[in-house]
Structure 1
């Protein structure tokens, strides 16, 4: 994938995270905040825990830092998938957000 294609797909993923945070705040009583600085989004939960998503442009990856560890994702032409497990990014983000918030949360790509 070219660098411009990577940036288009990566920026779309970050925008989807922001939209999901807004939707979660609008549709539930979950206290979730997100702060974006450049290619990094910090998701902050009411209990003070955080998830950090950042772009790794040289590697054409998206990284997720969670309490359970760090994850690296590459785009396979259809979705962002974990470089070790093949798990889809938004599925894993939803699982990690649910773990850290203590409430079921769903992040979606669209």
Structure 2
């Protein structure tokens, strides 16, 4: 994946996430440089950010830190192989204390 392809892909990913977060009624802020902060009622956050030199998307949540790389047509955790949207939905659900479905995790 070239840098240009990576930037296009992550732009689409963040744009879709913004729509999903609006639909899920979650507070978030997208800062310059591709840093998305999702804030929960208990004050906890999930941070999603681009790592352009590595062509990865990183997530920091209460459950830990995760690195996602484009593989087999999806953003996948570099350790477990978990798909990004499904994993992020699980993290957000745990921190929100309710079911949250984001992106590709929809049936």
> Could you tell me how far 1:16 is from its partner in structure 2?
1.2
User: Deviation per CA, 1:35-90, whole angstroms, max 9, x where unpaired?
Assistant: 01120000001121110000000000000000010000001151100000000000
State the secondary structure of the residue aligned to 1:104.
coil
Q: Determine the structure 1 residue equivalent to 2:23.
A: 23
- Helix, strand or coil for the counterpart of 1:73? strand
Secondary structure of the 2:79 match is: coil
Equivalent residues in 2 for 1:1-110, closer than 5 Å: 1-25=1-25, 32-38=26-32, 39-109=34-104
Deviation of the 1:106 alpha carbon = 0.4
Q: CA RMSD in A?
A: 1.2
Structure having greater relative contact order (Cα 8 Å, sep ≥ 6): 1
Which TM-score applies when normalising by structure 1?
0.90
The structural deviation recorded for 1:22 is 0.8
| Secondary structure in 2 matching 1:65 | strand
SS of match in other structure, 1:80 = strand
Distance 2:77 2:83 in 1: 6
In the superposition, the TM-score normalised over structure 2's length comes to 0.93
Q: CA deviation at 1:24?
A: 1.0
